[in-house]
Amino acid sequence: MPAHAVRRRPALPALLLTVAAAALGGLALLPAHAVPAPAVLASSPAAVVLLGETERAAVLGRPPVLRTVAAPVVTTKRAVRAVPLRAARKRAEPVLAGYVCPVRGPHSFTDTWGDPRPGGRRHQGNDVMAPYGTPVVAVTSGVIKTNYSRNGGISLYLEGTDGDEYFYAHNSRNVAVTGQHVATGELIGYVGNTGDARGGPTHVHFERHPGGGRPVDPYSFLIRACGA
Domain assignment present for 112: yes
The answer on 124 and 212 residing in a single domain is yes
Q: How many domains does the chain have?
A: 2
CB 125 within 8 Å of CB 133: no
Which pLDDT band, with edges at 50, 70 and 90, does 154 fall under?
very high
Could you please report the per-residue DSSP string of 5-30? Answer: --PPPPPGGGEE----SGGGTT---E
Q: Is the pLDDT of residue 89 over 60?
A: no
At residue 203, φ and ψ (nearest 5 deg) are: -170, 170
Looking at the fold, whether 122 and 217 belong to one and the same domain comes out as: yes
For residue range 157-208, list pLDDT tens digits in order. Answer: 999 999 999 999 999 999 999 999 999 999 999 999 999 999 999 999 999 9
Which 3 state secondary structure label does DSSP give 108? strand
Q: For residues 178 and 119, what is the distance between their CA atoms, to the nearest angstrom?
A: 30
120, 217: one domain: yes
Residues 125 and 217 in one domain: yes
Provide the domain limits for residue 164: 108-226
Same domain, 52 and 119: no
Tens digit of each residue's pLDDT (9 = 90 or more) over 97-117: 889 999 999 999 988 888 877
Confidence of residue 80 (pLDDT cuts 50, 70, 90): very low
- Same domain membership, residue 195 and residue 116: yes
Q: Is 96 contained in some domain?
A: no
Which residues sit opposite 15 in a β-bridge? Answer: 31
Q: Mean pLDDT, to the nearest integer, of 8-12?
A: 47
Q: Are 135 and 103 in contact (CB under 8 A)?
A: yes
Q: Are 173 and 134 in contact (CB under 8 A)?
A: no
139 residue type, one letter = V
pLDDT of residue 133: 97
Residue 5 resides in a domain: no
Please count the CA atoms within 13 angstroms of the CA of 91 that sit on its side-chain side: 11
Structural contact between residues 140 and 160, judged by C-beta atoms closer than 8 angstroms: yes
- pLDDT of 56 reads 54
Asked whether residue 71 is domain-assigned, the answer is no
Structure confidence at residue 120 as a pLDDT band (50, 70, 90): confident
Of 9-23, 36-50, 180-194, highest mean pLDDT: 180-194
In a domain, 209, yes or no: yes
Residue 38: phi and psi, rounded to 5, are -55, -35
Report the mean per-residue pLDDT for the chain. 74
